[in-house]
Amino acid sequence: MASFGEHVTYDGLVYQIVAVSADAEPTYTLEPVRRNEDALTRVITSSQLQMFLVPSGGDRIASVAGSAIEVIGSRTAVATALAEGYVRVKFDSQGGTAVVSQIIAVDAKATAVSAPTKTHYSFVNWYYNAAGTGDAVNFSVDTFDDDTTLYAKWAINTFTVTYDSNEGSAVEAETVDYGEAATEPDDPAYAGHLFAGWYTDDSTFLLEYDFATLVTANITLYAKWDVAGTVTFDSNGGSAVDAQVIASGALATEPEDPVLVESTFSGWFYDDDTFLDDVVFDTDVFTADDTLYAKWV
């Protein structure tokens, strides 16, 4: 701990301690020794065992001490070294709101402090290491025999993305960290309907949800369904063609032509006897289940 009469340095100037309070954490009163702004030059002796501060153009100033104090004004300094029998407990909130350190007697308990706050995080506890591992601090039991820094541990806030499938098969809710994107689930199923996406509104279905959106609050997404119809392809003895489930009022996709030995495929038709009503896949829409028939020549 610094003493009365010693010199200390701050911001390139030299001060002398002219008063020291008797507190456990003393307050020092300083008088400036140099009143100009000339830079100080560090000079190290040949033995490199001592370091002095030398005002430019002036004589060497010996017995400069200052590692034990921190100057906080032009005339006042606060001790960072404590009186004998005391230790300091510091609180590193790791990005949270500041918590004032405590000076306590050796082997005494620190006083439990109010939890700091940190935007988008929840306070977990105080720990003896920055990683927040091992036992948490127990202020009702733990004592301190040396200067100690305690570290805040934080848990990022999480939010729930709820999926309302609107009579479709159930979709499990998802927990997402603040600022992360939800993972798009597998499409639900609903007999006679075609899934048309997730929306943030369940009445007009105008706002389709973008799964690249970063989640910052709880949210419910609603499944939109289109009435569906099945278009079946009867290849009349040719190779099989998969059926298509499409939204009511939509176009079907023209499939690859089927094949039939010693026959030539001549198109798809709505009737399988006269083959007069051919299908035009570019324009024909389907509003209900329908069967299309292959014509062979």
pLDDT tens for the 297 residues of the chain, in order: 566 777 776 655 667 777 766 666 666 676 666 544 444 444 444 333 333 333 333 333 333 334 445 554 444 455 555 667 888 899 999 999 999 989 889 999 999 999 999 999 999 999 999 999 999 999 999 999 999 999 999 999 999 999 999 999 999 999 999 999 999 999 999 988 999 999 999 888 999 999 999 999 999 999 999 999 999 999 999 999 999 989 888 999 999 999 999 999 999 999 998 999 999 999 999 988 999 999 999
Amino acid identity at 46? S
Q: What is the pTM of this model?
A: 0.60
Contact 17, 28 (CB under 8 A): yes
Contacts of 190 (CB under 8 A, 6+ apart): 165, 166, 167, 168, 169, 223, 225
Q: Which CATH number fits domain 86-156: 2.60.40.4270, 3.40.50.12780, 1.20.150.20, 1.10.40.50?
A: 2.60.40.4270
Q: What angle do CA 150, 86, 125 make, to 5 degrees?
A: 15
The neighbour count for residue 201, using CB atoms within 10 Å, is 14
**If you count them, how many residues does the chain have?**
297
Q: How far is CA 254 from CA 46, 239, 268, 270, 271, in A?
A: 93, 15, 9, 14, 17
Contacts of 107 (CB under 8 A, 6+ apart): 143, 144, 145
The single residue listed with the structure tokens 């198109």 is 267
What is the location of CATH 2.60.40.4270 in the chain?
Answer: 86-156, 158-297
Burial of 111 (0-12, 13-18, 19+ CB in 10 A): exposed
Distance separating alpha carbons of residues 219 and 198, to the nearest angstrom: 12
**Tokens standing for residue 179:** 């600022």
Contact 8, 17 (CB under 8 A): yes
The neighbour count for residue 231, using CB atoms within 10 Å, is 23
pLDDT number for residue 91: 96
pLDDT number for residue 78: 53
Which of these, 227, 162, 231, lies nearest to 196 by C-alpha position? Answer: 227
The single residue listed with the structure tokens 């998969």 is 242
Q: Which CATH number fits domain 158-297: 2.60.120.10, 2.60.40.4270, 3.40.50.300, 1.20.1250.20?
A: 2.60.40.4270
Distance separating alpha carbons of residues 98 and 148, to the nearest angstrom: 16
**Tokens standing for residue 65:** 């001490």
Collapsed DSSP state (helix, strand, coil) of residue 41? strand
Distance separating alpha carbons of residues 177 and 216, to the nearest angstrom: 8
DSSP-derived secondary structure for 150-205: EEEEEEE-EEEEEEE-TTSS----EEEETT-BPPPPPPP--TTEEEEEEES-SSS-
